[in-house]
Amino acid sequence: MKGIKRYKLKGLDCATCAVKIEEELKKQEGVKFAAVNFSTSELVVDAEDIDKVVETIKKVEPEVEVEHDDFGGFHVDKGREDGEDPKKDLISIIASSALFLTGIFLGETLHSLPLAEYSLFFSAYLIAGWRILWKAGRNITKGAIFDENFLMSIATIGAIAIHEMPEAVGVMLFFRIGEFFQDLAVGKSRRSIKALLEIKPTYANLRVDGDIIKVKPEEVKVGDIIVVRPGEKIPLDGMVIEGSSAVDTSALTGESEPRSVAEGDEVLSGMVNMGGLITVRVTKPFSDSTVSRILQLVEEAGSRKAMAEKFITRFARYYTPAVIALASSVALIPPVMLGEPFTPWIYRALVLLVISCPCALVLSVPLSYFASIGKAAREGILVKGANFIDVLSSAGIVAFDKTGTLTKGNFRVAEVVAKNGFSQEDVLRYAALAEMHSNHPIARSIVEAYEKDEISWREGDSGEVDSSVKSYPNYSVKSYEEISGRGVRAEINGYSIIVGNDALMHEMDIEHDSCDVEGTIVHVAVNGIYAGYIIVADQLKEDARKAVDELKRLGCRVVMVTGDSREIAEKVADKLEVDEYYAELLPEDKVRVVEGLKGRNGRVAFAGDGINDAPVIARADVGIAMGGLGSEAAIEVADVVIMDDMPSKVPKSIRIARRTQHIVWQNIGFALTVKGFFIILGSLGVATMWEAVFADIGVTLIAVFNAMRILH
């Protein structure tokens, strides 16, 4: 969605209002996409005419101000997010409470003076409820009558009409008190969520002709030199060209252990310089920096709604009108059909109107999901949408790629074995020349071993090899072919070199050794003659076994899929004690395996390195990429990105998702149960206005505070 823009909605103090704005925008011609995130007070929209968008918002919610955020990203506002002054609210509440308590204290004395009673209670009522009454009247003129302001106004005005002045004032006052604490709770939760992601640097120290100038990160260009002092955030991705230090990467990875950097090392925006002064050459513009991509992903995640959010939006659309219809029936049918007096039945109907507000659900459910996404981001786990929280929570099978996911992927040549008259140096040289153009980790390890002369050369089996091939002062590549999942084939200086696994040797009909050793075996053949093999060792990640054990405790079946040989896969599988493994797989074979796993034990999550595993990541129910710091390909392809490559973050993400689901449905169940219970009591005439206020504001506050538990 290239036309996507983000706007701050200042004064958005109502979850139901956020739903109304979103639905109204989606109806407008020229609006391709619209999502309002109440948790962050933000609008994400793709529209041809932004003026029309602003006009629509003003029509639905005149008090909401639309502000374009040129700087982008999350902000932590110091005051309340809705633009109201909490001190003024508190003064109104105290003044109204004083008048209300005075009226209650005077009691019978005041009751004998009707004019004084009405003046006192009505003053308290207006002080507490003028804003609610004004909003209700404004919304009625726009055809929006099914909101909490309208319901509360009708309920309290009705109570005044039937001479229940203390209850009318009490309900409005306690509703206002509840709103005050609800606003504080929501504001706190917004700030807590945003503070988790407040990793965006605000300035850069740009070096220009020997001078240091403080500028916005957006103004720095690729190739510019910036200086990062101790304690400062690194503002842009780049390469250290002077100095050394330790950097705190916890904002990006969730890990507290500092990382040492020196000249030639890469640093990323969002890291904090903890030690010495470092000078950095910028390698990416701010818009493409790591911190910008992270913030963009988390912002966009709010627009991908979970099933529970969609359910609540649909539910609220029918629930409130249904309760109003029930209240109308209660107020009219018994008096008209049975000749009952109107007053008690109208009172019951007014109680139902107070109970019916769906704020507890409309507010707490989106807040829960956004808190979950923020919590995961703090742990170094980027979840690209609330819908993926749902899928993660129901994951029953987790499939891992081996190389670079369960293992470090830092291959090194452990041994070279020569055959048929070739020397160890010959075998490594031929392999290195053939692999020179490959980016595969195994290929790079072979090239590095040859270039660094890491092997102690010993003579191989007897036999002679053409000296022109041995010396290789210059070489020319006539042809080069990388065979996916097998190896490479190249023609260099007239010699045909084949480097690859056992399957490639069979495919090329070359007699070779069958090796049962620890490590990956790379066979080498020159001009159809088997030259020997290279043992390339990889190491398991320190937390790989922990990841498998934790997933099993969560009830997940753990599967390993790899393109490596069956012998190596079996050894790794035995060490990790995975439930099953599949070996010698091409990328398309991995897709077939994952397709076969679907439906066996819940949803299937696949964790891979995000590049050569792209097809299978796309086909899994939820694709998890071991993104690594700054891996663009991983961030693009997956639904979930593990920023520090730790497989133990996979069970952690599932645990966060399941806790979120538990709290979401806990809130839904609690709110519906309490409201249903009080609707029954209200219909029977047992519940009063006081209980109705608890069923509305009280339940909302409890649900919001319950959602806040996700952050801790």
Please write the tens of the pLDDT for every residue from 437-480: 777 778 888 888 887 754 433 333 333 434 333 334 456 677 88
- Angstrom distance (rounded) from CA 199 to CA 222: 21
Number of C-beta neighbours around residue 30 at 10 A: 11
State the DSSP code for 379: T
User: Which is nearest to 646 in space by CA: 632, 628, 634, 659?
Assistant: 628
What average pLDDT is seen over the chain?
Answer: 80
Residue 197 has pLDDT above 70, yes or no: no
Which helix (H) or strand (E) covers residue 354, if one does?
A: helix 342-355
Overall average pLDDT of the 306-335 stretch: 79
- Which has the minimum average pLDDT: 26-35, 181-190, 654-663? 181-190
Number of H helices, E strands in the chain: 25, 26
Q: Per residue, what are the HEC states of 104-146?
A: HHHCHHHHCCHHHHHHHHHHHHHHHHHHHHHHHHHHHHCCCCC
Q: Which two tokens stand for residue 682?
A: 């209200």
DSSP string, 664-689: HHHHHHHHHHHHHHHHHHHHHT---H
User: 642 in helix, strand or coil?
Assistant: strand
The Cα angle at residue 13 between residues 12 and 19, in degrees rounded to 5: 65
Q: Which two tokens stand for residue 259?
A: 């990382």
8 A C-beta contact, residue 75 and residue 7: no
pLDDT class of 692 with cuts at 50, 70, 90: confident
Amino acid making up residue 487: G
pLDDT class of 483 with cuts at 50, 70, 90: confident
Amino acid making up residue 99: L
Residue 209 has pLDDT above 50, yes or no: yes
Proportion of the chain above pLDDT 70, given as a percent: 84
User: Which is nearest to 307 in space by CA: 231, 210, 390?
Assistant: 390
Q: Looking at per-residue confidence, does 274 or 154 come out higher?
A: 274
State the DSSP code for 694: I
- Angstrom distance (rounded) from CA 350 to CA 323: 11
Predicted pLDDT of residue 83? 44
Q: Are strands 42-47 and 245-248 parallel, antiparallel or unpaired?
A: unpaired
pLDDT class of 73 with cuts at 50, 70, 90: very low
Please write the tens of the pLDDT for every residue from 538-570: 788 889 999 999 999 999 999 999 887 787 888
State the DSSP code for 219: G
Choose from 245-254, 294-303, 671-680 the range with maximum mean pLDDT: 671-680
Residue 396 has pLDDT above 80, yes or no: yes
pLDDT class of 666 with cuts at 50, 70, 90: very high
Number of C-beta neighbours around residue 193 at 10 A: 27
Q: Between the CA of residue 457 and those of 17, 179, 419, 450, what are the distances in Å?
A: 75, 79, 14, 11
Q: Which two tokens stand for residue 103?
A: 């009226």
In degrees and rounded to multiples of 5, residue 224 shows phi and psi of -70, 155
Predicted pLDDT of residue 470? 37
Residue 286 has pLDDT above 80, yes or no: yes
Q: Which two tokens stand for residue 424?
A: 């160890």
Predicted pLDDT of residue 587? 77
Predicted pLDDT of residue 443? 85
8 A C-beta contact, residue 495 and residue 501: no
User: Which is nearest to 559 in space by CA: 572, 568, 543?
Assistant: 572
Q: Which of 401, 426, 538, 696 is catalytic?
A: 401
- Angstrom distance (rounded) from CA 511 to CA 150: 85
Q: Which two tokens stand for residue 485?
A: 């999942």
Residue 580 has pLDDT above 60, yes or no: yes
DSSP string, 246-298: EEE-HHHHS--S-EEE-TT-EE-TT-EE-SS-EEEEE-S-GGGSHHHHHHHHH
8 A C-beta contact, residue 465 and residue 533: no
- Angstrom distance (rounded) from CA 563 to CA 582: 8
Q: Looking at per-residue confidence, does 197 or 659 come out higher?
A: 659
Residue 302 has pLDDT above 70, yes or no: no
Overall average pLDDT of the 26-52 stretch: 80
8 A C-beta contact, residue 700 and residue 180: no
Please write the tens of the pLDDT for every residue from 227-259: 999 889 899 999 999 999 888 877 676 565 678
| Runs of H (alpha helix) within 604-698 | 614-619, 632-637, 649-684, 689-693
Predicted pLDDT of residue 612? 66
8 A C-beta contact, residue 389 and residue 372: yes
Residue 650 has pLDDT above 50, yes or no: yes
- From the CA atom positions of the chain, what is the Rg in Å? 33
- Angstrom distance (rounded) from CA 500 to CA 530: 12
**Helix 165-196 × helix 148-161 angle, to 10°:** 160
8 A C-beta contact, residue 512 and residue 427: no
Q: Looking at per-residue confidence, does 593 or 115 come out higher?
A: 593
Overall average pLDDT of the 475-486 stretch: 78
Q: Which two tokens stand for residue 427?
A: 């075998």
Predicted pLDDT of residue 142? 66
Please write the tens of the pLDDT for every residue from 516-531: 666 678 899 998 899 9
Proportion of the chain above pLDDT 90, given as a percent: 16
DSSP lists the bridge partners of residue 492 as 477, 495
Overall average pLDDT of the 579-596 stretch: 87
DSSP lists the bridge partners of residue 560 as 400, 581
Overall average pLDDT of the 422-431 stretch: 89
Sequence-distant (≥ 6) Cβ neighbours of residue 183 within 8 angstroms: 13, 80, 82, 84, 86, 89
User: Which is nearest to 372 in space by CA: 359, 383, 360, 363?
Assistant: 383
DSSP string, 24-67: HHHHSTTEEEEEEETTTTEEEEEES-HHHHHHHHHHH-TTPEEE
8 A C-beta contact, residue 129 and residue 93: no
Choose from 142-151, 184-193, 350-359, 504-513 the range with maximum mean pLDDT: 504-513
Amino acid making up residue 608: G
Residue 86 has pLDDT above 50, yes or no: yes
- Report, in this order, helix, strand and coil percent for the chain, each rounded to 5: 50, 20, 30
8 A C-beta contact, residue 500 and residue 515: no
Q: Are strands 395-401 and 557-561 parallel, antiparallel or unpaired?
A: parallel
Predicted pLDDT of residue 647? 93
- Angstrom distance (rounded) from CA 184 to CA 585: 55
- Angstrom distance (rounded) from CA 83 to CA 46: 26
- Angstrom distance (rounded) from CA 456 to CA 247: 37
Quickly tell me which residue has 């008209």 as its tokens: 336
Sequence-distant (≥ 6) Cβ neighbours of residue 542 within 8 angstroms: none
Overall average pLDDT of the 19-24 stretch: 80
Residue 413 has pLDDT above 60, yes or no: yes
Overall average pLDDT of the 377-401 stretch: 88
Residue 176 has pLDDT above 90, yes or no: no
Q: Which two tokens stand for residue 468?
A: 């022109």
- Angstrom distance (rounded) from CA 671 to CA 44: 29
Residue 147 has pLDDT above 80, yes or no: no
Amino acid making up residue 253: T
Residue 662 has pLDDT above 90, yes or no: yes
Task: Write the Ramachandran bin of 381: left for phi over 0, alpha for psi from -120 to 50, otherwise beta.
Answer: beta
Residue 656 has pLDDT above 80, yes or no: yes
Q: Which domains does the chain have, with CATH numbers?
A: 5-70 (3.30.70.100), 86-194+302-369+660-711 (no CATH), 204-289 (2.70.150.10), 381-408+540-643 (3.40.50.1000), 412-537 (3.40.1110.10)
User: Which is nearest to 253 in space by CA: 377, 375, 374, 372?
Assistant: 377
Overall average pLDDT of the 154-173 stretch: 81
Overall average pLDDT of the 140-158 stretch: 72
- Angstrom distance (rounded) from CA 63 to CA 57: 9
- Angstrom distance (rounded) from CA 545 to CA 576: 5
Active site includes 401? Answer: yes
Predicted TM-score of the model (pTM): 0.69
Q: Which two tokens stand for residue 274?
A: 């903890």
- Which has the minimum average pLDDT: 56-65, 67-76, 633-642? 67-76
